[in-house]
Chains A and B, each alone.
Chain A
């Protein structure tokens, strides 16, 4: 069962531009996480935002959470070619926090 859905499915931008990816989810959550996956590699954790937080920053990353709309966004500022990757949001599945449910991801391409 898919809890989070990322939008857009694919995004292509030029180096230096900002990239925004969105995630919508269906049920109430305690936390939402964002991960990055470089081609052929495992996932790497970026940020965890709790349901009582509205915004969180980490370097060039900014994550917002709107629990009333059941949505989150990931903003990457001043993008670099090295940011080229797939980005996934993940939330706790229904029935307990031991099951993390991932969306299908946004494939970001940053052109030099």
Chain B
């Protein structure tokens, strides 16, 4: 099993550009989440999904879109990048409810917006 994979590992964007961060898992997990990690802030939830076709907002959803057309993939779209979106982004998946089961994290995408 590859587990949770994320691409790209690094990305530099100019303000106003858009892009999609890719996340895939091969563990047949229903639950998937996107977090951002900023220095001294811990992880903050952006969006999450409890299954294909179902997504919902987390703590900091503004400026991001998600979709879940398959169980395996959960891409995160930045609509119009802003310097405030400079961060490290982590995707995670779990077999069942996030509170009751182990989260598997991807290696992260380091994004810089200039």
CB distance A104 to B41 under 8 Å? yes
CB distance B99 to A102 under 8 Å? no
Chain A residues within 8 Å of B53, by CB: none
Number of residue pairs spanning A and B whose beta carbons lie under 8 angstroms apart: 72
CB distance B100 to A88 under 8 Å? no
Top-8 shortest CB links A-B: A92-B99, A97-B99, A42-B105, A104-B42, A45-B102, A102-B43, A100-B98, A102-B42
CB distance B48 to A99 under 8 Å? yes
Closest chain B residue to A4 by CB distance?
A: B42
**Chain B residues close to A by CB (< 8 Å):** 4, 31, 33, 35, 40-45, 48, 50, 56, 58-59, 90, 92, 97-108
Docked Cα-Cα span, A105 to B103, in Å, equals 17
Q: A42-B107, A43-B43 are in contact. Are A92 and B98 (CB under 8 A)?
A: yes
Apart from A43-B43, A90-B103, what are 13 other A-B pairs with CB-CB below 8 Å?
A: A1-B59, A31-B99, A33-B102, A35-B103, A41-B107, A42-B90, A97-B100, A98-B50, A100-B45, A101-B45, A102-B35, A103-B42, A104-B41
Shortest CB distance B4–A (Å): 8
Chain B residues within 8 Å of A43, by CB: 43, 90, 92, 103, 105
CB distance A88 to B43 under 8 Å? yes
